[in-house]
Amino acid sequence: MVSMSIVEEKVLSEARLALRGIPGQRSPISLGDTGVKIGDGTLVVVAGPCAVEDRVQFFETAAAVKEAGAVGLRGALFKPRTSPYSFQGLGEKGLALLIEARERTGMFVVTEVLSSAEVPLVAEVSDVIQVGSRNMQNFPLLRTLGAVSCPVILKRGLASTIEEWLLAAEYILAGGNQNVILCERGIRTYEKMTRNTLDLGAVALLQKLSSLPVMTDPSHACGRRDLVPDLARAALAAGSDDLMIEVHVHPEDALSDGEQSLNPKEFMVLMQELRQIAAALGRRIATLDRIATLERSETRDPYRV
Amino acid sequence: MVSMSIVEEKVLSEARLALRGIPGQRSPISLGDTGVKIGDGTLVVVAGPCAVEDRVQFFETAAAVKEAGAVGLRGALFKPRTSPYSFQGLGEKGLALLIEARERTGMFVVTEVLSSAEVPLVAEVSDVIQVGSRNMQNFPLLRTLGAVSCPVILKRGLASTIEEWLLAAEYILAGGNQNVILCERGIRTYEKMTRNTLDLGAVALLQKLSSLPVMTDPSHACGRRDLVPDLARAALAAGSDDLMIEVHVHPEDALSDGEQSLNPKEFMVLMQELRQIAAALGRRIATLDRIATLERSETRDPYRV
Amino acid sequence: MVSMSIVEEKVLSEARLALRGIPGQRSPISLGDTGVKIGDGTLVVVAGPCAVEDRVQFFETAAAVKEAGAVGLRGALFKPRTSPYSFQGLGEKGLALLIEARERTGMFVVTEVLSSAEVPLVAEVSDVIQVGSRNMQNFPLLRTLGAVSCPVILKRGLASTIEEWLLAAEYILAGGNQNVILCERGIRTYEKMTRNTLDLGAVALLQKLSSLPVMTDPSHACGRRDLVPDLARAALAAGSDDLMIEVHVHPEDALSDGEQSLNPKEFMVLMQELRQIAAALGRRIATLDRIATLERSETRDPYRV
Amino acid sequence: MVSMSIVEEKVLSEARLALRGIPGQRSPISLGDTGVKIGDGTLVVVAGPCAVEDRVQFFETAAAVKEAGAVGLRGALFKPRTSPYSFQGLGEKGLALLIEARERTGMFVVTEVLSSAEVPLVAEVSDVIQVGSRNMQNFPLLRTLGAVSCPVILKRGLASTIEEWLLAAEYILAGGNQNVILCERGIRTYEKMTRNTLDLGAVALLQKLSSLPVMTDPSHACGRRDLVPDLARAALAAGSDDLMIEVHVHPEDALSDGEQSLNPKEFMVLMQELRQIAAALGRRIATLDRIATLERSETRDPYRV
What is the per-residue pLDDT across C65-118, written as a single tens digit (0 to 9) for each? 999 999 999 999 999 999 999 999 999 999 999 999 999 999 999 999 999 999
Give D176→chain C minimum CA distance, Å. Answer: 13
**Rounded Cα–Cα distance for residues A6 and C64 (Å):** 33
Q: For position A304, what pLDDT does the model report?
A: 44
> For residue range D174-189, what is the model confidence (pLDDT) as tens digits?
999 999 999 999 999 9
**Rounded Cα–Cα distance for residues A126 and A151 (Å):** 9
C-beta atoms of D189 and A190 within 8 A: yes
- In A2-151, DSSP assigns E strands to 29-30, 37-38, 44-48, 72-74, 108-113, 128-131
Q: For position A77, what pLDDT does the model report?
A: 96
Cβ B28 vs Cβ B213: under 8 Å: yes
Residue in chain C closest to A6 (alpha carbons) equals: C193
> For residue range D249-298, what is the model confidence (pLDDT) as tens digits?
999 999 988 899 999 999 999 999 999 999 999 999 999 976 555 555 54
- What mean pLDDT, rounded, does chain B reach? 92
Q: Which residues contact A9 (CB under 8 A, 6 or more apart)?
A: none
Let me know if residue B290 belongs to a domain.
Answer: no
> For residue range A66-112, what is the model confidence (pLDDT) as tens digits?
999 999 999 999 999 999 999 999 999 999 999 999 999 999 999 99
Let me know if residue B86 belongs to a domain.
Answer: yes
> Total structural domains in chain C?
1
Looking at residue B301, its amino acid is: D
Let me know if residue D151 belongs to a domain.
Answer: yes
pLDDT category at C290 given cuts 50, 70, 90 is: low
Let me know if residue D301 belongs to a domain.
Answer: no
Which residues in chain C are closer than 8 Å to D159, comparing Cβ atoms? 158-159, 188
Which residues in chain B are closer than 8 Å to D9, comparing Cβ atoms? none
> For residue range C154-168, what is the model confidence (pLDDT) as tens digits?
999 999 999 999 999
pLDDT tens for chain B, residues 1 to 305 = 334 565 567 777 888 898 887 777 788 999 999 999 999 999 999 999 999 999 999 999 999 999 999 999 999 999 999 999 999 999 999 999 999 999 999 999 999 999 999 999 999 999 999 999 999 999 999 999 999 999 999 999 999 999 999 999 999 999 999 999 999 999 999 999 999 999 999 999 999 999 999 999 999 999 999 999 999 999 999 999 999 999 999 999 999 888 999 999 999 999 999 999 999 999 999 999 765 555 555 444 444 44
pLDDT category at C304 given cuts 50, 70, 90 is: very low
C117 touches chain D (CB under 8 A): yes
Q: For position C295, what pLDDT does the model report?
A: 53
Phi-psi region of D129 (alpha: psi -120 to 50; beta: other; left: phi over 0): beta
Angle CA D118–D123–D124, to nearest 5: 110
Q: For position D296, what pLDDT does the model report?
A: 53
What range defines the domain where residue A29 resides? Answer: 22-280
For the segment D37-47, the average pLDDT, to the nearest whole number, is 97
Q: For position C299, what pLDDT does the model report?
A: 47
pLDDT category at A26 given cuts 50, 70, 90 is: confident
Which residues in chain D are closer than 8 Å to A6, comparing Cβ atoms? 6
Q: For position D13, what pLDDT does the model report?
A: 81
Q: For position B14, what pLDDT does the model report?
A: 86
B252 touches chain D (CB under 8 A): no
For the segment D240-253, the average pLDDT, to the nearest whole number, is 96
Let me know if residue B179 belongs to a domain.
Answer: yes
CATH number at residue D37: 3.20.20.70
C-beta atoms of C114 and D14 within 8 A: no
Cβ D90 vs Cβ D52: under 8 Å: yes
Q: For position C160, what pLDDT does the model report?
A: 97
Q: For position D1, what pLDDT does the model report?
A: 30
To the nearest whole percent, how much of chain B has pLDDT over 70?
A: 91
Which residues in chain B are closer than 8 Å to A80, comparing Cβ atoms? 137, 139
Cβ A28 vs Cβ A39: under 8 Å: yes
> For residue range B49-102, what is the model confidence (pLDDT) as tens digits?
999 999 999 999 999 999 999 999 999 999 999 999 999 999 999 999 999 999
Q: For position A299, what pLDDT does the model report?
A: 47
Q: For position A3, what pLDDT does the model report?
A: 43
Q: What do you get for the CA distance between the two ends of chain A, in Å?
A: 46
Query: How many residue pairs bridge chain B and chain D with CB atoms within 8 Å of each other?
Result: 161
Q: For position B1, what pLDDT does the model report?
A: 30
Predicted TM-score (pTM) of this structure: 0.94
Which residue in D279, D170, D262 sits closest to D223, CA to CA?
D262
Write a three-state SS string for chain D: CCCCCHHHHHHHHHCCCCCCCCCCCCCCEECCCCCCEECCCCEEEEEECCECCCHHHHHHHHHHHHHHCCCEEECECCCCCCCCCCCCCCHHHHHHHHHHHHHHHCCEEEEEECCHHHHHHHHHHCCEEEECHHHCCCHHHHHHHHCCCCCEEEECCCCCCHHHHHHHHHHHHHCCCCCEEEEECCECCCCCCCCCECCHHHHHHHHHHCCCCEEECHHHHHCCHHHHHHHHHHHHHHCCCEEEEEECCCHHHCCCCHHHCECHHHHHHHHHHHHHHHHHCCCCECCCCHHHHHHHCCCCCCCCC
Q: For position B271, what pLDDT does the model report?
A: 98
Which residues in chain D are closer than 8 Å to A159, comparing Cβ atoms? 190
pLDDT category at A256 given cuts 50, 70, 90 is: confident
Residues 145 through 184 of chain A touching chain D, CB cutoff 8 Å: 159
**Rounded Cα–Cα distance for residues B159 and D197 (Å):** 12
| 3 state SS of C72 | strand
Q: In angstroms, how far is CA B116 from the centroid of its own chain?
A: 19
Backbone φ, ψ for residue A150 (5° rounding): -60, 135
Let me know if residue C89 belongs to a domain.
Answer: yes
Let me know if residue B299 belongs to a domain.
Answer: no
Which residues in chain B are closer than 8 Å to A116, comparing Cβ atoms? 115, 117
Write a three-state SS string for chain B: CCCCCHHHHHHHHHCCCCCCCCCCCCCCEECCCCCCEECCCCEEEEEECCECCCHHHHHHHHHHHHHHCCCEEECECCCCCCCCCCCCCCHHHHHHHHHHHHHHHCCEEEEEECCHHHHHHHHHHCCEEEECHHHCCCHHHHHHHHCCCCCEEEECCCCCCHHHHHHHHHHHHHCCCCCEEEEECCECCCCCCCCCECCHHHHHHHHHHCCCCEEECHHHHHCCHHHHHHHHHHHHHHCCCEEEEEECCCHHHCCCCHHHCECHHHHHHHHHHHHHHHHHCCCCECCCCHHHHHHHCCCCCCCCC
Q: For position B293, what pLDDT does the model report?
A: 59
Strand partners, B48: B246
Q: For position B35, what pLDDT does the model report?
A: 95
> For residue range B99-123, what is the model confidence (pLDDT) as tens digits?
999 999 999 999 999 999 999 999 9
β-pairing, C128-131 vs C152-155, is parallel
> For residue range A206-245, what is the model confidence (pLDDT) as tens digits?
999 999 999 999 999 999 999 999 999 999 999 999 999 9
Q: For position A7, what pLDDT does the model report?
A: 59
C-beta atoms of D14 and C134 within 8 A: no
**Rounded Cα–Cα distance for residues D130 and B84 (Å):** 49
Q: For position B305, what pLDDT does the model report?
A: 41
D190 touches chain A (CB under 8 A): yes
| 3 state SS of A34 | coil
- What mean pLDDT, rounded, does chain A reach? 92
For the segment C137-142, the average pLDDT, to the nearest whole number, is 97
Residue in chain D closest to B234 (alpha carbons) equals: D234
Flag whether pLDDT at A152 surpasses 60.
Answer: yes
Which residue in A121, A132, A127, A149 sits closest to A51, CA to CA?
A132
- Torsion sign (Cα): C239, C244, C249, C253: negative
Give D65→chain B minimum CA distance, Å. Answer: 22
Who wins on pLDDT, D11 or D119?
D119
Neighbouring chains to C with at least 3 Cβ pairs closer than 8 Å: A, B, D
Looking at residue C170, its amino acid is: E
Cβ C247 vs Cβ C261: under 8 Å: yes
Q: For position B299, what pLDDT does the model report?
A: 47
> For residue range A72-85, what is the model confidence (pLDDT) as tens digits?
999 999 999 999 99
C-beta atoms of D188 and A192 within 8 A: no
Q: For position C300, what pLDDT does the model report?
A: 43
To the nearest whole percent, how much of chain C has pLDDT over 70?
A: 91
Q: How far is CA C6 from CA C13, D39, D224, D291, in A?
A: 11, 45, 21, 55
Q: For position B25, what pLDDT does the model report?
A: 79
Let me know if residue C285 belongs to a domain.
Answer: no
Q: For position C2, what pLDDT does the model report?
A: 38
- ipTM over cut 0.85: yes
| 3 state SS of C77 | coil
To the nearest whole percent, how much of chain D has pLDDT over 70?
A: 91
Give A145→chain B minimum CA distance, Å. Answer: 13
Query: How many residue pairs bridge chain A and chain C with CB atoms within 8 Å of each other?
Result: 160
To the nearest whole percent, how much of chain D has pLDDT over 90?
A: 84
C-beta atoms of D189 and A192 within 8 A: no
